[in-house]
Structures are given as C-alpha cells and as structure tokens.
C-alpha cells in the first residue's frame, strides 16, 4: 500500500515558499566546499613532482614496509631492582595495615601492594570497631593514582621548590608572631592525637594560632548536644547489634550519618537467629539506604520529623506531645513507642535532624531507656567541625584580623555555602597556604599551594573512638614532590624530627601503655586506655576552640517545645551525601563516578529527588526514551535568594510529599577532567550548615540525560526473584510455605524444578567446589563489593554516555526493586489474582500498574553477579568454547578465545555478562584511569586487562581461589575454612556475602547452603547456580 505521507526534516519545509529550503535543496553541501584552498594554487601543483601514480606507489610501499616491519616481534625489557628491598618479592603481594582519615571517611584498613604499588584496599579484620572500608574507601586507592594530582608546590600558579615555600612561609609566620593578627589553621577533622599535639606545639611556637576544624558536611548539632550533656565534643557511638528495636528519625546510619560505619553491627542484628531479629522503623524524607532497609518506613518531611520526635518523646514519657502530624504517622509512632517501652534497654533511637534540640532529645531518650546499643563512655571523634568557629573565622578574615591562613584537607570555596564571603575574606589575609592533593576551587585563590600527600603516602594516627587507636603508614613513597601538612608544620617549627618520630613519641608517651610499637604498627589498630599525664590528655583530647563560650545543656522541655512547633514554609529540601560520592573530595575518581547510587541506580550525576505527587503537581517527569536512556526534567531550586538552576529531577518513590532531596559532592569544576565535571554543587544551598532547607522549586526548560543502569523499578509480582517473608511466618510455618521451590511438569506431574534436568550432572564431590552465599537480610546495598570488584578485576570505566547505553561493565551489580503495592507480598497477591485481560483485575491494565512503584514502597536489594551455573546456558551456545566450566564450580571465561558473538550474553538468564564494545584502555575516547601510566598502576597484575570485542564477567575471583590453593599446596596443608575469599565477600563488612568450599563438610558455607532460607535465583530455569541467596525476612511485628 503506497502512502502519500510526506516526511519533513524541519518545520520550515512545510512552507513551500521558504527560500532557505529552496536554496538547501539545490545545494548538495550546506557550506561551500573550499576547493580553491587546496587546488587553487596552480603553481605549487605544477611544481610538485609527485603525481597521482607516484602517490599511490608511496602509499603501497609504505603500507607494505609497515606490515613487514610489524613482523618483527617487540623487544621486551625486564629491569630488576638494583638493590631489592628485603620484603618485596616480585609477584607476591604484601599487605600493610593503615588508616584512612581524610576528614570524611575514617577506617582501619589493609592495603594490598604489589611490587611496591598499592592496588587494593581490604578490611582490617583486627579492627574491633566499625568504620570498615565502604565504597569510597575501597576506591580511594585509585585517587592515589589520579593524573590530575598536584605534582609539587606552587606560588601564584608558578612551580616553586619546597625550600622556597618554607622560607617564605617561615619568615611571614615569624613576622606575625608578635603582631595582633592571628595565624589560623583551617583543617579537616583529624581525630589524630599526634596532630592535635603538634598543633598545640605550633601554637606555643608562634603564639596566636587558631585551629579551626571544618567538616564540609557538618555534624555540629550532634557534637554540640553531646558536648552539652557529656562535656566532650564527640559523637555517641551506637552498636546496633545490641538493639532489638531501632527507631530512626531521619538518620541515614547505613550511609554517612555521624561518620557512618554502623552497617556491620546493624546487619548482625538483622539476620534471624533463634527466631529473633531486630525491628527497624524509619521516619525520613528522602529514600535513604537506611530507609530502604527498614522494616517500616514512614515518609515525613523534615519539619514533620521534628514534630514526630517530640510526639514520640511525649509518648515515651506519657505526656501528650502536640503537633501537626498525619494520622498514619501518629499511629506508627504510637505503635513503635509502645514497642520501645516494652523493650526499654534493647531499644535505641537515633536522629539525623541537624538541630541541637533534636539531638539533645535523642540523647535523653537513649539515656532514659538505658539503651544497650548506646555508648557515651567511649564516644567517636570522627567529626570535630565547629560551625561557630568557622563563622568567626570568616568574620575575622573579612575584618583583617587574620594574618595567615593555613588550610589542610578542606576546600571551603567549593563547600562553604557562603563561599563568596570566604573569597572576599581571603583577600585581606597576608599569607594563604593550602595543602591539597588536587587543584581545586580553593587552591586557585591562595598564594601558596602546598601539594599534599595522599593518605597512602603519609604517616599518621587516629583515635576513631575513645581508646581505639589506629596508625597510618605510607604504603608507597611519595609519587610526586609532595609533603604532608604535619611534616610542613614540623619544618616551620624548625624541628628536626620527622612526623614518624613525632607520632612514635606521642604514642610512647601514653597511648602504647606498655604495648609494642612495632606490633601496633603491624596491626594498624590498638585498643588501649592511655595512662598518660594530664597535659598529654589535654593535648590529645579534642579541644573546643577557646574563644567559643561553653554551651550549656539544652533544657529538654524547651527543646521539645521548639521541636513540636516546627513548621515549614513551602517545600523542604534535605541535603544528604551519597554512598558513592560522600562530601565530594574524591569527585575525580572514575570508579566512584561510575558507581550507581544504590537507591536511584543513577551514575555520573546528582539530582533532586521529588515525590511522585509533587512531580505531578509541578509537571516534572522522568521518562525512558527510545535510545534506552532515562531522561528527566530540570528544575531551579532557590534557598533564601541563592538559586541553583539546571538541577535534574528524579521522581523518587518513597520521597515524602512536600520534601526534596539533593546530594552533596558534585558540581566540582576546577582541576577536574571534563568527563568528571558532573552534577550540581549542593553546598550552595547549605545555608547555615543545616541539612534541611526551605526551598522554592520551579521547572526549567529542557530534559536531562541520565546514565541510569536500572530502568525497571519493580518486580511485577515475581516473588521468586527476591523471596521474602515476615518474621512471624518464618518462625511459625514450614519452609515449604515461605521458601517455595518452583515446580515444573514432568510426565504430566508437577515435580520440583530442581529434580528435573536436561543434562547428566558432573560429579563435583571431589576437590573444591565453590559457592557464594548472599544473605538478603544482611545486605544493606552499600556497594562496597562493587568497587572492590572493580579494583580486583580491572573492570574498566566506560563513561556516562556508554552507561546510558546500558554498556556498563560492572561484574557485580546490586539490583534494587520497589514494590508496586505497599509491600512485595501484596504485589504477589495482586498478580495471582489477575483474572482475564480486562476489568478491575485484568492483567492488561494490571501489569501496567505494577510497573509503577508505590508512593512509599518496600525496597529490596539483590547483588547479582555471574551465578556460575553448573548447567550454564552460556556455555552451550559459545561457538568457540571460550566459556567453559571448571570442576571447582567456576564458569571460566577465556578472553583470548572469545570472538565476541555475544551469544552467551543473550542466553544468560541473569544478564551478568559484559561485552567490551570498545578498547577501554589506552584509548583517548575513554580518558579515565586506564588511559594514563599513573592510573594504570592500580591494575591488578594477576588479572588480564580485556581488549575490545570480548565478553567478560565475574570469574568468582578465580585468581584468589587459585592463590589460596597454591599457598596451601606449598605449605603442604589442607585449606582452612574461611581462607577462600572473593573480592566481594572480603569487602562485605555486613557479612551478607560468604564464600567457601561446599565440599568441606565443616565449612560455614555448607551450613549456609543447608539453611532453610537458601534459594537459587530463577530456580525453575534449571541452571543449578553456585551462587545462592537467603530469603529476606522482614520483622513486621508491631507489638
């Protein structure tokens, strides 16, 4: 059937008289071809002795010559050490215990080095306290090899020598010694006994020295409240493993709340043991990682959270706390208050509301309950930032009272909400020095930029929690001409000590308390009660800036009153930090940029999260467009006159209506590769360091292109993918009812799918047989495993455009699903009850509805990597046998054999295979770490770097299992249980991932496999995977 449709390229074409259209129709090329430019010069053409035939000859000969020359094999040089260090054996990894303390992330870690290069971060299992390596800490090793790092000190942008810098700074400091102007040190939180002592000595040497600690993301309210109550500027510690009831008012404690690191303890209590597990109720505005893991989540705007906290306090005390709250929230609060009262010391209450009153109330509640999970005797020191002091400093700078400003580990021009004040103030400071690893907004403005060490090149110590000390030791010599802040301070004090000596001195003076220094350095951690003199204690204990008046304890009654009357004006914005980006100091880290946010699954961006109701009201949309990408509207956010335009929108299920969310850490531009300059800077809206703001929101023009790795949000009632049940059913009913084995029809009889097979089974009872267990109850979705997998397996970074095309290379992904009804169980029921195509229960409309997540959905996380099927569908379709099965249960992938048909990926029911569409290393199109010599130093030498056109996937870290086996063979012993690890299982601090040999009858993995919660993903397909999951159990017990 012929058609008379006319296709047009632009609107102008519709007008038959349009002159431009007519002109364009006549011209084949829109622009004139500049023929004259290269053929016009007749003389040169004539003078040239090369005619066409000659030219072709040259081409032919040079091609032939080039191909002949290529036949010669390359000569590879091998350069041994001149003097080999005793402890380095080429090819054998060394591990060093050290500590990350960059002002935002604090953790005791192990660093794996190969031939002197740190290549991977592991958890230090000796560390007794939280703060295990999260995704950012795992990725921090790549920041060491950042090609944009500062390579030496500069003065007004010109490279200078350290000696020049020292001389200039010293003379300036000396001249300030007796002047009225003060020397200000603006730094990150160190939590370091030695640095605290050092700065005190520096103060003695130069007088008039102010040390202002500044956290980009402030915990000032919590610190102030704690200080008022307990007299020390610190943070209460919580051990969620000891809590049966956890109530959180906006505290994202699985994220970065008060320094983070609570996931291990939390997960311990979440695994049902003897029929018991903790119950977690979350009241919050944004859908946070913590809220996603909660048993019950009540979306409340920040102001409602305050009221709710007051109401909750009233309920606990039997007094009537007023306030405007939705009825459903009140009911939830009533229920949880009753539960808390019943459990008393087994309950714990936390809040993330950046408000002294709220923090004080929570401290009072926990004290009142006598919570076992609440620890104030040994508080945490990982946040020390003092908002008041920073404000004072800004005022002093403006008024010219500051003679010298030394900065370390901070980027105030980027992260201060009132950065313009700072920029103005810095002009009145005579001497400005910034220590920084990278060029940033602040280093652009200062006179002296002191290129600083990465923490893996530095000495240091930290007291993460009272009595829990950690040591930081360099794992590599400084890559560039850099120097750490403390060394410089020692220099400027004319001390001949190195910072190492200095730390040792500090530790010997008390911290060691009879322990061996070398042993402490070897372990990286030391738990000790320092027996030191008063003066040392005073020096070591974090100090309150002297000029600040002592805060008095907030009277609870007035606190409650102010909380219960909290109101909001318009929309309320909650600023938060993302698991992947934190406060943004590692924004130029490609691993972290490409790390998909656990909740939204969006990488390479930050965005404002809006509830569905508000999105409809404001006409904001998210849509999946034809190229498979996700697009979203732009909005303009205004806080108190400060506007942030071009903020993309994500419609977030579970976002409290009337609230918005926006994450810190993005929108950096200075000193960053253009690919890394993503997102918008939320610090601009961080007025008065309050994480909640009243904001006006307007729609702007245009659509934003997201790089989102998961476009499908719900399970559509497929309860067999993430099996879940409630604690009640789990405790009372048989596993057959809540962990249903799928059935298939065999000879017209329904039999369990596991009993039917197309193939004969291979006997796997001999030797090792590896299995990976993933407990969906313990998994918080934090994503440390994703980055650990990147580091271990040389997974390439592909960039935003490629991720948008679903070409991300993550070997391990953490799927996030929302329920379409209020719970997943209701989804399943709804699907079961579909009846016919049309009508109320019709499947046609019904499935459409099920694609939409609920306004406050249940959330489930599921890490998925290659399932290493014993009957793998990928293996049977490979035409070149590039993927095959090993006896140990691993599905092998021989890259050099792969020809790239991608049949395997198409036949994989789990969609875990990744194809190298391009060469991702040594390719300027992908200018990430694998495109420069420095970045390539992070590559694991035991794993092949894949080339273009081959398929890759999780290998179950075969290089690690083989290494373990070889170690055992060499020692002539059997492999002990727990020795086998994969990168993900080793990185998993919550204990959700366990790896082991199921042929070792004594091993933990066997017990896990025999658990009645065990199931395989898509069991009915009959793939017999070697990865298994544990049914998620939710504690819905409200009584």
Partner 1 sequence: MKKVPYRNLISKVLGVSLVVVLLLSNSLLAQEAAAAPSGEGDAVKGKQLFNQNCAACHSLNKKMTGPALAGVTERHDKEWLYQWIKNSSAMVKAGDAAAVKIYNEYNQAAMTPFPTLSNQDIDDILAYTDAPPVVAAAPVGVAESVPGGGSSSGISNEIILGALALVFALLVMMLVLVNKTLRRIAEANGVVLEKELAEKRLPIWKAFAQNQFLVLVFSIFLLLSAAYFAYGWMMQVGVDQGYAPIQPIHYSHKIHAGDNAIECKYCHSSARVSKTSGIPSLNVCMNCHKSIYEYKGNPEGPSAEDLANGYTNEFYTGEIKKLYKAVGWDEENQKYTGESKPVEWVRIHNLPDFAYFNHSQHVSVAGIECQTCHGPVEEMEIMYQYSPLTMGWCINCHRETNVKVEGNEYYEKIHAELSQKYGVDKLTAAQMGGLECGKCHY
| Site for partner 1, rule CB under 8 A | 71, 73, 75-84, 89-92, 763, 765-767, 882, 884, 886-888, 890, 892-897, 942-945, 955, 958-959, 962, 965-966, 968-975
Dihedral pair phi/psi, residue 176, rounded to 5°: -85, -10
**Of 877 and 1014, CB closest to partner 1:** 877
**Of 30 and 766, CB closest to partner 1:** 766
Q: How far is the CB of 905 from partner 1 (least distance, A)?
A: 18
The long-range contacts involving 323-330, CB below 8 angstroms and separated by at least 24 positions, are: 323/564, 323/565, 323/566, 324/567, 325/300, 326/300, 328/298, 329/283, 329/298, 329/300, 329/304
* Integer Cα distance of 547 and 545 in angstroms: 6
**Of 577 and 870, CB closest to partner 1:** 870
**Which residues, 6 or more positions from 166, have their beta carbon under 8 angstroms from its beta carbon?**
488, 491, 492
Q: How far is the CB of 946 from partner 1 (least distance, A)?
A: 9
Q: How far is the CB of 868 from partner 1 (least distance, A)?
A: 11
* Integer Cα distance of 864 and 1028 in angstroms: 10
**Of 820 and 982, CB closest to partner 1:** 982
∠ CA 149-155-161, nearest 5°, is 75
* Cα-Cα-Cα-Cα dihedral sign, residues 59, 61, 64, 69: negative
**Of 174 and 966, CB closest to partner 1:** 966
**Of 293 and 981, CB closest to partner 1:** 981
Q: How far is the CB of 889 from partner 1 (least distance, A)?
A: 11
**Of 746 and 966, CB closest to partner 1:** 966
What six digits make up the tokens of 946? 């894949």
Q: How far is the CB of 966 from partner 1 (least distance, A)?
A: 6
What's the length of the chain? 1039
Half-sphere exposure of 32 (CA within 13 A, CB side): 4
* Integer Cα distance of 48 and 35 in angstroms: 18
**Of 764 and 902, CB closest to partner 1:** 764
DSSP state of 509: I
Q: How far is the CB of 897 from partner 1 (least distance, A)?
A: 7
Across the beta sheet with 448-451, the strand order is 158-159, 154-155, 448-451, 431-436, 402-408, 182-187, 209-213
Q: How far is the CB of 75 from partner 1 (least distance, A)?
A: 6
The burial of 26, by beta-carbon neighbours within 10 Å (0-12 exposed, 13-18 middle, 19 or more buried), is given as exposed
Q: How far is the CB of 886 from partner 1 (least distance, A)?
A: 5
Q: How far is the CB of 789 from partner 1 (least distance, A)?
A: 14
What six digits make up the tokens of 1019? 């069991």
**Of 26 and 76, CB closest to partner 1:** 76
**Of 141 and 975, CB closest to partner 1:** 975
3-state SS class at 218: coil
**Of 346 and 944, CB closest to partner 1:** 944
What six digits make up the tokens of 675? 């690919």
**Of 84 and 911, CB closest to partner 1:** 84
Pinpoint the alpha helices (H) of 893-957. Answer: 903-907
Q: Cα 110 to chain center, whole Å?
A: 19
Q: How far is the CB of 931 from partner 1 (least distance, A)?
A: 18
3-state SS class at 178: coil
- Location of structure tokens 């000790």: 528
Q: How far is the CB of 944 from partner 1 (least distance, A)?
A: 5
Report CA-CA distances (Å) from 595 to 601, 603, 606: 8, 6, 12
- Location of structure tokens 């890394």: 676
∠ CA 47-52-56, nearest 5°, is 130
Q: How far is the CB of 995 from partner 1 (least distance, A)?
A: 16
* Integer Cα distance of 428 and 421 in angstroms: 11
DSSP state of 508: I
Q: What is the CA radius of gyration of the chain?
A: 31
**Of 16 and 91, CB closest to partner 1:** 91
**Of 186 and 772, CB closest to partner 1:** 772
- Determine if residue 583 is left, alpha or beta; phi over 0 gives left, psi from -120 to 50 gives alpha, anything else beta: alpha
Pinpoint the alpha helices (H) of 810-957. Answer: 824-832, 843-850, 873-877, 903-907
Q: Answer for the pair 951, 914: CB distance below 8 angstroms, yes or no.
A: yes
3-state SS class at 263: helix
Q: Answer for the pair 270, 277: CB distance below 8 angstroms, yes or no.
A: yes
3-state SS class at 237: strand
**Of 510 and 886, CB closest to partner 1:** 886
Q: How far is the CB of 985 from partner 1 (least distance, A)?
A: 17
**Of 503 and 951, CB closest to partner 1:** 951
Q: How far is the CB of 888 from partner 1 (least distance, A)?
A: 7
The burial of 210, by beta-carbon neighbours within 10 Å (0-12 exposed, 13-18 middle, 19 or more buried), is given as buried
**Of 280 and 960, CB closest to partner 1:** 960
**Which residues, 6 or more positions from 769, have their beta carbon under 8 angstroms from its beta carbon?**
887, 888, 889, 997, 998, 999, 1026
Q: How far is the CB of 80 from partner 1 (least distance, A)?
A: 4
**Of 631 and 959, CB closest to partner 1:** 959
* Integer Cα distance of 158 and 8 in angstroms: 56
């Amino acid at each position: 059937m012929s058609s008379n449709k006319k296709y047009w390229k632009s609107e102008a074409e519709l007008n038959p008289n349009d002159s431009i259209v007519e002109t364009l129709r006549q011209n084949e090329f829109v622009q004139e071809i500049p023929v004259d430019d290269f053929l016009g010069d007749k003389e040169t053409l004539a003078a040239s002795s090369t005619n066409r035939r000659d030219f072709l000859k040259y081409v032919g000969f040079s091609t032939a010559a080039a191909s002949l020359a290529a036949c010669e094999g390359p000569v590879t040089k091998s350069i041994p050490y001149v003097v080999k260090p005793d402890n380095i054996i080429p090819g054998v990894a060394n591990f060093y215990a050290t500590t990350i303390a960059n002002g935002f992330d604090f953790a005791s870690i192990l660093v794996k080095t190969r031939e002197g290069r740190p290549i991977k971060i592991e958890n230090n299992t000796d560390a007794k306290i939280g703060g295990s390596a999260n995704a950012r800490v795992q990725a921090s090793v790549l920041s060491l090899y950042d090609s944009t790092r500062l390579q030496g000190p500069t003065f007004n942008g010109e490279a200078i020598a350290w000696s020049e810098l020292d001389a200039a700074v010293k003379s300036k400091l000396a001249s300030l010694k007796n002047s009225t102007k003060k020397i200000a040190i603006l730094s990150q939180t160190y939590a370091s006994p030695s640095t605290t002592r050092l700065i005190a000595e520096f103060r003695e040497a130069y007088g008039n020295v102010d040390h202002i600690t500044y956290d980009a993301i402030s915990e000032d309210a919590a610190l102030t409240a704690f200080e008022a109550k307990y007299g020390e500027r610190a943070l209460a510690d919580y051990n969620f493993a000891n809590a049966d009831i956890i109530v959180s008012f906006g505290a994202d404690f699985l994220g970065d709340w008060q320094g983070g690191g609570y996931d291990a303890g939390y997960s311990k209590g979440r695994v049902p043991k003897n029929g018991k597990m903790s119950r977690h109720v979350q009241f919050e505005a944004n859908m946070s990682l913590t809220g996603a893991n909660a048993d019950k989540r009540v979306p409340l705007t920040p102001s409602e959270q305050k009221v709710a906290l007051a109401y909750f306090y009233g309920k606990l005390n039997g007094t009537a706390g007023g306030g405007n709250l939705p009825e459903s929230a009140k009911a939830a609060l009533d229920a949880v208050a009753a539960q808390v009262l019943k459990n008393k010391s087994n309950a714990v209450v936390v809040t993330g509301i950046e408000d002294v009153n709220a923090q004080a109330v929570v401290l009072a509640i926990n004290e009142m309950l006598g919570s076992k999970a609440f620890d104030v005797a040994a508080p945490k020191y990982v946040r020390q930032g003092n908002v008041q002091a920073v404000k004072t400093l800004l005022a002093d700078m403006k008024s010219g009272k500051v003679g010298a400003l030394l900065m370390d580990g901070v980027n105030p021009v980027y992260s201060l909400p009132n950065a313009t004040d700072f920029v103005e103030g810095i002009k009145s400071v005579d001497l400005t020095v910034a220590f920084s690893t990278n060029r940033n907004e602040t280093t652009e403005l200062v006179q002296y930029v002191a290129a600083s060490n990465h923490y893996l090149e530095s000495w240091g110590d930290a007291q993460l929690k009272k009595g829990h000390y950690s040591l930081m030791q360099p794992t590599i010599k400084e890559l560039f001409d850099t120097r750490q802040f403390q060394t410089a301070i020692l220099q400027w004090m004319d001390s001949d000590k190195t910072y190492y000596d200095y730390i040792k001195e500090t530790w010997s003076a008390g911290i060691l308390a009879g322990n061996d220094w070398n042993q402490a350095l070897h372990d990286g951690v030391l738990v000790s009660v320092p027996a030191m003199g008063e003066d040392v204690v005073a020096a070591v204990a974090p100090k309150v800036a002297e000029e600040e008046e002592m805060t008095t304890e907030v009277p609870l009654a007035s606190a409650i009153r102010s909380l219960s009357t909290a109101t909001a004006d318009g929309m309320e914005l909650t600023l938060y930090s993302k698991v992947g980006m934190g406060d943004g100091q590692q924004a130029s880290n490609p691993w972290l940029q490409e790390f998909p946010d656990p909740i939204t699954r969006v990488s390479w961006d930050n965005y404002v999260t809006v509830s569905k109701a508000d999105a409809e009201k404001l006409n904001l949309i998210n849509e999946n467009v034809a190229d498979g990408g996700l697009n979203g509207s732009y909005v303009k956010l205004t806080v108190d006159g400060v506007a942030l335009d071009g903020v993309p929108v994500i419609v977030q299920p579970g976002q409290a209506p009337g609230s918005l969310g926006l994450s810190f850490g993005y929108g950096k531009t200075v000193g960053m590769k253009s690919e890394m300059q993503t997102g918008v800077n939320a610090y601009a809206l961080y007025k008065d360091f309050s994480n909640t703001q009243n904001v006006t929101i307007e729609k702007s023009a245009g659509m934003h292109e997201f790089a989102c790795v998961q476009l499908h949000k719900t399970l559509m009632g497929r309860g067999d993918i993430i099996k879940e049940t409630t604690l009640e059913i789990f405790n009372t009913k048989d596993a057959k009812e809540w962990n249903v084995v799928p059935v298939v029809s065999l000879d017209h009889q329904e039999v369990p799918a596991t009993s039917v097979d197309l193939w004969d089974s291979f006997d796997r009872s001999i030797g090792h047989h590896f299995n990976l267990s993933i407990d969906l109850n313990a998994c918080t979705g934090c994503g440390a495993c994703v980055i650990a997998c990147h580091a271990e397996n040389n997974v390439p970074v592909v960039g935003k455009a490629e991720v948008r095309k679903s070409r991300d290379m993550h070997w391990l992904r953490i799927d996030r699903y929302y329920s379409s009804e209020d719970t997943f169980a209701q989804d399943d029921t709804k699907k079961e009850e579909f009846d016919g195509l049309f009508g109320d229960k019709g499947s046609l409309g019904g499935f459409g509805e099920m694609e939409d997540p609920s306004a406050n959905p249940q959330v489930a996380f599921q890490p998925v990597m290659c399932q290493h099927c014993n009957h793998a569908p990928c293996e049977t379709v490979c035409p070149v046998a590039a993927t095959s099965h090993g006896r140990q249960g691993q599905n092998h992938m021989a890259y050099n054999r792969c020809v790239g048909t991608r049949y395997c990926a198409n036949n994989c029911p789990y969609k875990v295979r990744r194809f190298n569409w391009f060469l991702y290393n040594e390719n300027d199109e992908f200018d990430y770490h694998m495109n420069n010599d420095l970045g390539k130093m992070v590559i694991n030498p035991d794993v092949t770097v894949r080339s273009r056109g081959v398929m890759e996937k999780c290998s179950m870290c075969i290089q690690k299992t083989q290494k373990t086996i070889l170690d055992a063979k060499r020692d002539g012993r059997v492999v002990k249980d727990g020795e086998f690890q994969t990168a993900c299982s080793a990185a998993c601090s919550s204990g959700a991932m366990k790896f082991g040999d199921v042929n070792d009858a004594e091993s933990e993995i066997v017990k896990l496999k025999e658990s009645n919660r065990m199931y395989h993903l898509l069991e009915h397909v009959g793939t017999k995977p070697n990865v298994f999951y544990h049914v998620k159990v939710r504690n819905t017990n409200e009584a």
